[in-house]
Amino acid sequence: MSQIQLYDTLTRSLRELPRPLEGKSFGMYLCGPTVYGPAHIGNFRTMLTLDVLYRSLKALGYPVKFVRNITDVDDKTIRGSRASGQSLEAFTGEWTRKFHEDCSALNMLSPDVEPRATTHIREQVQLAESLLAKGHAYVGGDGSVYFRVNSFSAYGQLSHFDREALRTQETNSAGALNLSDEYERDSVADFALWKAYKPEDGDVCWEGPKDPATGKAIRGRPGWHLECSAKSHTHLGQEFDLHAGGEDLIFPHHENEIAQSCCGYGGSFARHWMHVVHLLV
């Protein structure tokens, strides 16, 4: 197999792509679209870059498994479906079809697996429960489940996020920061794994992780970050070769994925991080 070198965001260096683990395909995961409207050329630039890499790896003889997810539940999809008077499923289904039409027009290959967030609720609930059981998560004042960033010492490794600066800022200027929606959390950096049901969610909700204090399932929906950890684990396993996305996902999305996966499943996660920079027009 030929060698490919790519810039790795984690080590900030040009590195040879990892060889697939013994007996496994080269596992690559790309954070795909949120289906609430038309994808733009910046989205497609990232996806086309990964399409070129996928084709190149195949042409060079790598056995590859390419997973690109679809985010079909979040604030934007719920808002859009309610505004259009459609069910969430009908609304996101329509935008997924339009996305696939655009992919075909660009002659992109289909990924091997295209998992949706709403078809992986069970895996996301299990991951949230595992994080609660291990003390990496807690139920906040609003009933949502939050990841405790201070419980993961490696947090910030990908983005070089300055945890000390954040702590100082939190202590010194809590009043000056706009923390109106942050009071439910122990720390401003903590992020939602599972969002407790709100009336604005309409009929979009599932039985979620069990609250350790009451033993009752928390009704609601997954936070955005949780789905990629659960789906990459389901389709590529605990450790896989390449994780990619637009550069805007480095922080907080990918930083949060690392924290969830490493703490919830244990051990390592993606072996190489590839980010596509913004398209400037």
Q: Would you give the binding string for Zn ion spanning residues 145-164, x where CB under 5 A is met?
A: --------------------
Rounded Cα distance between 270 and 241, Å, is: 6
Closest CB to Zn ion among residues 218, 228 = 228
Q: CB 256 → Zn ion: shortest distance, Å? A: 9
Is 229 in contact with 130 (CB distance < 8 Å)?
A: no
Is 97 in contact with 51 (CB distance < 8 Å)?
A: no
Q: Would you give the binding string for Zn ion spanning residues 14-43, x where CB under 5 A is met?
A: -----------------x------------
* DSSP per position, 101-136: HHHHHTTPPPPSB--BGGG-HHHHHHHHHHHHHTTS
Closest CB to Zn ion among residues 53, 250 = 250
Q: CB 69 → Zn ion: shortest distance, Å? A: 6
Rounded Cα distance between 248 and 254, Å, is: 9
Closest CB to Zn ion among residues 136, 231 = 231
Angle value at C-alpha 189, between 220 and 237, nearest 5 degrees: 65
Q: Would you give the binding string for Zn ion spanning residues 214-233, x where CB under 5 A is met?
A: --------------x-----
Closest CB to Zn ion among residues 139, 254 = 254
Is 225 in contact with 191 (CB distance < 8 Å)?
A: yes
If binding is defined by CB under 5 A, does position 259 make contact with Zn ion? no
Closest CB to Zn ion among residues 48, 217 = 48
Q: CB 182 → Zn ion: shortest distance, Å? A: 23
Query: Strand 242-246 vs strand 26-30: parallel, antiparallel, or unpaired?
Result: parallel
Closest CB to Zn ion among residues 33, 139 = 33
Q: Which residue has the tokens 């992020």?
A: 191
Is 15 in contact with 27 (CB distance < 8 Å)?
A: no
Q: CB 84 → Zn ion: shortest distance, Å? A: 25
Q: CB 177 → Zn ion: shortest distance, Å? A: 26
Residues forming contacts to Zn ion in the complex (CB under 5 A) are 31, 228
